[in-house]
């Protein structure tokens, strides 16, 4: 039996009405056909400014998975989480825009988050996506070693500048910054940029953290090679270790373009690779810090067991656990109650701009085996407990 089954702890902050609404929502997400149709309709109606849609979205999906439309609005969730020892990671969840004005605007927003969070232990990390600072096609071209035109070189210089400005500001204010991972075909360029930033700003401690997707092949080898470089250049490494979120898209593209599937062949292989990533971190804690971003109970307990076996305190500064806001509260609040470093990814942004994120999250929930069913089971268990 899982140690993460105390629903009284998990849902202590939720009213019966909130739990019933969450149950209804996960029940809808559980149906793949309904989710696919619903997310398509939702994107269309919001994009075309249909009346009343914003208010419906805000009181359903948005309320479940987001902190608010602004940082200030999201602080209510931040304070509520921190009362129970859980940190918040502001995630400015604007997706799907590819113009320089938006890239500059998002970069400024990230810098504002850094300044906003200085001195606040409730916000332990800053986060951004590489494609929030530049076009995915440009990352792909750079990663492939393609010859860039003069305008592309200038464009890439602006991407590097945005990365550097954010990492430099985090370094100045001693705030940790995580760079999310995205599609494999743009990841090489993002990895190289993260390595440059680590070499520059992680000389004393891990300020810049890259994200490693363990559902990919070759990631363990990448971490091993990167560790050697970090030792040679004498800097610290920070990793967010996740399974990954683009499986269908990755497989479809590999088939279409005729290259080897970059994703582990089975769920079991992904789990085994993730656990190998845990071992790698635990064996190199003198140089590597990790944020284990996972909704998997077995992986979470495995990290805890290895910490205990190594005689490490629960709040060891090099080890964090994280889950998404609105999901896996049974894991997050159990960990925080036991004194582990636990945090929630807290998306925020204008409802219209966040809809692509929300619909992607709904689709991911549908495709991850057992995730939605587990949420439903936990909510039902808690409602039954309360109504005895």
What's 301's domain CATH number?
3.20.20.220
Region 289-302 average pLDDT: 96
Q: Count the domains in the chain.
A: 1
What pLDDT sits at residue 354? 82
Structure token digits, residue 267 = 């769920």
What pLDDT sits at residue 40? 63
User: Does the structure show a pLDDT above 60 at 189?
Assistant: yes
pLDDT band at 352 (very low <50, low <70, confident <90, very high): confident
Structure token digits, residue 192 = 């190289």
The answer to whether residue 307 is domain-embedded is yes
User: Does the structure show a pLDDT above 90 at 176?
Assistant: yes
The answer to whether residue 365 is domain-embedded is no
The answer to whether residue 262 is domain-embedded is yes
Tokens 């939605």: give the residue.
Answer: 372
Structure token digits, residue 318 = 């090099």
Q: What is the pLDDT of residues 130-163, one digit of tens each?
A: 999 999 999 999 999 999 999 999 999 999 999 9
Contact 23, 372 (CB under 8 A): no
d(CA 11, CA 1): 19
The answer to whether residue 318 is domain-embedded is yes
The answer to whether residue 63 is domain-embedded is no
What pLDDT sits at residue 368? 54
Report which of 296, 286, 145 is spatially closest to residue 214, judged by C-alpha positions: 296
pLDDT higher at 37 or 61: 61
| 22-36, 64-78, 85-99, 287-301: the lowest-pLDDT one | 22-36
What pLDDT sits at residue 155? 98
Q: What is the pLDDT of residues 195-241, one digit of tens each?
A: 999 999 999 999 999 999 999 999 999 999 999 999 999 999 999 99
pLDDT higher at 150 or 371: 150
The mean pLDDT value of the chain amounts to 91
Q: What is the pLDDT of residues 233-279, one digit of tens each?
A: 999 999 999 998 788 889 999 999 999 999 999 999 999 999 999 99
> What residues make up the domain containing 306?
69-353
What pLDDT sits at residue 51? 64
What pLDDT sits at residue 231? 98
pLDDT band at 47 (very low <50, low <70, confident <90, very high): low
What pLDDT sits at residue 38? 55
What pLDDT sits at residue 315? 98
Q: What is the pLDDT of residues 83-139, one digit of tens each?
A: 999 999 999 977 667 899 999 999 999 999 999 999 999 999 999 999 999 999 999
What pLDDT sits at residue 373? 86
User: Does the structure show a pLDDT above 90 at 36?
Assistant: no
pLDDT higher at 103 or 35: 103
Beta strand spans in the chain (E):
86-92, 125-128, 176-179, 208-213, 237-242, 288-293, 319-324, 342-348
User: Does the structure show a pLDDT above 90 at 61?
Assistant: no
Region 67-95 average pLDDT: 93
Sorted by sequence, the CB contacts under 8 Å of residue 64 that are 6+ apart come out as: 21, 22, 25, 326
Structure token digits, residue 108 = 């400024």
What pLDDT sits at residue 247? 84
pLDDT band at 1 (very low <50, low <70, confident <90, very high): low
User: Does the structure show a pLDDT above 70 at 364?
Assistant: no
Region 320-333 average pLDDT: 95
Contact 271, 301 (CB under 8 A): no
The answer to whether residue 92 is domain-embedded is yes
The answer to whether residue 24 is domain-embedded is no
Contact 261, 250 (CB under 8 A): yes
Measuring CA to CA, how many Å separate 299 from each of 200, 223, 321? 32, 19, 10
d(CA 262, CA 337): 38
Sorted by sequence, the CB contacts under 8 Å of residue 53 that are 6+ apart come out as: 42, 45, 46
The answer to whether residue 104 is domain-embedded is yes
What pLDDT sits at residue 41? 61
User: Does the structure show a pLDDT above 60 at 301?
Assistant: yes
What pLDDT sits at residue 369? 52
């Amino acid at each position: 039996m899982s140690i993460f089954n105390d629903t009284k702890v998990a849902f202590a902050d939720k009213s019966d009405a909130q739990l019933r609404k969450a149950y209804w929502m996960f029940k809808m997400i559980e149906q793949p056909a309904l989710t696919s149709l619903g997310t398509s309709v939702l994107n269309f109606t919001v994009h075309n400014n249909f009346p009343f849609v914003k208010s419906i979205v805000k009181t359903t999906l948005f309320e479940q998975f987001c902190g608010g439309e602004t940082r200030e609005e999201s602080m209510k969730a931040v304070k509520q989480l921190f009362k129970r020892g859980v940190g918040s990671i502001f995630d400015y969840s604007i997706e799907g825009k590819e113009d320089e004005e938006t890239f500059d605007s998002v970069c400024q927003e990230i810098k504002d988050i850094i300044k906003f969070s200085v001195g606040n232990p409730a916000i332990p990390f800053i986060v951004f996506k590489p494609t929030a600072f530049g076009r995915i096609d440009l990352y792909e071209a750079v990663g492939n070693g393609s010859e860039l035109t003069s305008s592309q070189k200038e464009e890439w210089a602006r991407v590097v500048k945005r990365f550097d400005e954010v990492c430099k500001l985090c370094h100045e204010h001693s705030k940790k910054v995580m760079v999310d991972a995205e599609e494999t075909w743009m990841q090489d360029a993002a990895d190289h940029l993260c390595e440059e930033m680590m070499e520059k700003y992680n000389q004393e401690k891990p300020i810049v953290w890259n994200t490693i997707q363990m559902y990919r092949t070759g990631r363990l080898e990448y971490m091993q090679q990167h560790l050697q470089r970090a030792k040679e250049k004498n800097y610290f490494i920070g990793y967010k270790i996740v399974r990954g979120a683009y499986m269908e898209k990755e497989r479809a593209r590999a088939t279409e373009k005729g290259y080897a599937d970059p994703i582990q062949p089975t769920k079991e292989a992904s789990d085994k690779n993730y656990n190998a990533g845990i071992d790698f971190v635990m064996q190199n804690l003198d140089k590597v810090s990790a944020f284990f971003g996972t909704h998997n109970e077995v992986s979470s307990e495995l990290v805890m067991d290895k910490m205990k076996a190594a005689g490490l305190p629960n709040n060891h500064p090099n080890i964090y656990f994280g889950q998404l806001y609105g999901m896996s509260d049974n894991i997050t609040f159990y960990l925080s109650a036991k004194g582990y470093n636990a945090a929630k990814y807290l998306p925020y942004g204008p409802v219209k701009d966040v809809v692509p994120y929300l619909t992607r999250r709904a689709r991911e929930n549908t495709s991850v085996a057992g995730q939605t069913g587990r949420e439903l089971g936990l909510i039902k268990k808690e409602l039954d407990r309360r109504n005895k």
